[in-house]
Amino acid sequence: QLASLSEAPPDAAFALIDAYKADRSPLKVDLSPGFYRDEDARPWILPSAKQELLNDPIADHEHLPILGHAELLDSAQRLVFDTTPEDANTIASIQTIAGTGANHLGALFLAKAIRPRTVWISDPTWINHEEIWKLADPDIERQKYPYFNKEILDLDFEGAMSTLSSMTGEGDVVILHGCAHNPTGRDFTKEQWKAIAGICEQKRLIPFFDLAYQGFATGDLDEDAWSIRYFFRNTSLEMLVAQSFSKNFGLYGERIGGLHVVCRTDDTRTKVVNMLTRLSRAEITTCPINGSKIVAKVLGNKELKAQWQRDLLHMSDRMRTMRQMLVDGLRKRQTPGQWDHILTDVSYLHFKMHSLGIANTAEIGMFSMTSLQPNQIRILREEYHVYLLPSGRISMTGLTEHNVEYVTEAFHKVLLD
Ligand code: PLP
């Protein structure tokens, strides 16, 4: 029976990680993964999180409650929504297997609870959204809304607005990236977020925020949660947030995250908690304990939290610097193509605002889209040992002061050929 299974293609992102590991060239550079890397392109253990890893010699290995680590959930909720004690009674929160698990549990929950007709996913998006929804319920239609114009490497706000306002129906789910959109690195401006919130309210859509980069994007926890807090405070919508602690704590392998369902009333919250508990119990029983202790401790301790905020600034600063160095190198060589969009640079912001008469954000976080074509991406990998996703997305964290010249030279040569 099993022999009749159809073969699925390997995961594009993890396949590249394996290929990179196997590459013996000392020149190799990995621009593909969504993991932070330090000044030497190595994994970085955040000083705030490291202390906790080392200082818990008597930790036991008992189960967490089904909903998860209580202090973690409490702090996690405040981090996202800036909640007051009254708000807490209207939000159902549960710990999850990181951001992926939060997306999955949210999809499963909505599939069982309200059976939406359609889920609207940004084009492009994180590689896993489509698959998660397909597995949660193949009968829920998966549709794309325009998000990024690949020709001009710019946000397609009008396209998003027009599709969301004309094609959606009541109860449809809209996946929104809370900040640092993956893979484009380009977010809606605050004015644009307000308009998206207006459409969601008018059409009674269900916003489902994916928040994988809070604090990691700009270095500012409040700024990175602005979109979600706006929807929370200024609409009456029921909404979901999938929260990940993988990137902002550097706890990728610990699988720590949370799902928050904004229910608006205490009564609804009780029912939602009940259903989330059942679903999670059937799937995983309880969440991993180690990482949740680390995050709970850091978020609950003033000094550690201050250290964590310094760690976040360190990471976001490094990514901004790498954006600048990459673009400087390409400008210096007069490499063909459009590169300015990669910058988080304020001068780019001012230029945009003046020339287009609108406020626009430049790119933040670790990702940017390039217009490198599949053939050029293959040559970069095979001849220069520079790895990036087939979509042309690059991750800034693979760049260092030591390899950025090599990478710009490789881009330059490939684009001149
Ligand atoms: N959501 C988005 C938008 C992501 O970019 C990622 C990771 O790349 C995730 C969710 C998954 O994060 P986690 O590793 O916490 O499962």
Query: Using one digit for the tens of pLDDT, what is the confidence trace for 244-291?
Result: 999 999 999 999 999 999 999 999 999 999 999 999 999 999 999 999
Per-residue confidence at 346, pLDDT binned at 50, 70, 90? very low
Q: Partners of 154 in the beta sheet?
A: 149
Q: Which atom of ligand 1 is nearest to the CA of 257?
A: 15
**Beta carbon of 100 within 6 Å of any ligand 1 atom:** yes
The answer to whether residues 226 and 166 belong to one domain is yes
The answer to whether residues 289 and 370 belong to one domain is no
The Å distance, Cα 416 to ligand 1 centre, comes to 35
CATH (domain of 143)? 3.40.640.10
The answer to whether residues 26 and 144 belong to one domain is no
Q: Taking Cα atoms as reference points, which of 342, 348, 332 lies closest to residue 408?
A: 332
Total number of domains constituting the chain: 2
pTM, two decimals, is 0.94
Residue 51 placed within a domain: no
The Å distance, Cα 393 to ligand 1 centre, comes to 15
The answer to whether residues 94 and 230 belong to one domain is yes
Per-residue confidence at 195, pLDDT binned at 50, 70, 90? very high
The answer to whether residue 247 is catalytic is: yes
ipTM over 0.95: yes
CATH (domain of 21)? 3.90.1150.10
Residue pointed to by tokens 């599949």? 374
The Å distance, Cα 411 to ligand 1 centre, comes to 27
DSSP string, 228-277: HHHHHHH----EEEEEE-HHHHT-GGG-EEEEEEE-SSHHHHHHHHHHHH
Cα separation values, 232 from 217, 261, 263, 272, 284, Å: 21, 11, 10, 17, 29
Q: Which atom of ligand 1 is nearest to the CA of 98?
A: 15
The answer to whether residue 123 is catalytic is: no
Substitution candidate for ligand 1 out of 126, 147, 211, 259 with most atoms within 8 A of CB = 126
The answer to whether residue 56 is catalytic is: no
The answer to whether residues 137 and 94 belong to one domain is yes
Name the residue with the closest Cα to ligand 1, atom 1.
Answer: 212
- In angstroms, the CA 404 to CA 417 distance is 20
- Domain boundary residue, one of 260, 285, 302: 302
Residue 4 placed within a domain: no
Share of the chain above pLDDT 70, in %: 95
Q: What is the mean pLDDT of residues 45-74?
A: 88
Name the residue with the closest Cα to ligand 1, atom 10.
Answer: 99
Residue 3 placed within a domain: no
The answer to whether residues 337 and 254 belong to one domain is no
Range of the domain at 391: 11-45+308-416
Name the residue with the closest Cα to ligand 1, atom 2.
Answer: 212
The catalytic position among 28, 44, 120, 126 is: 126
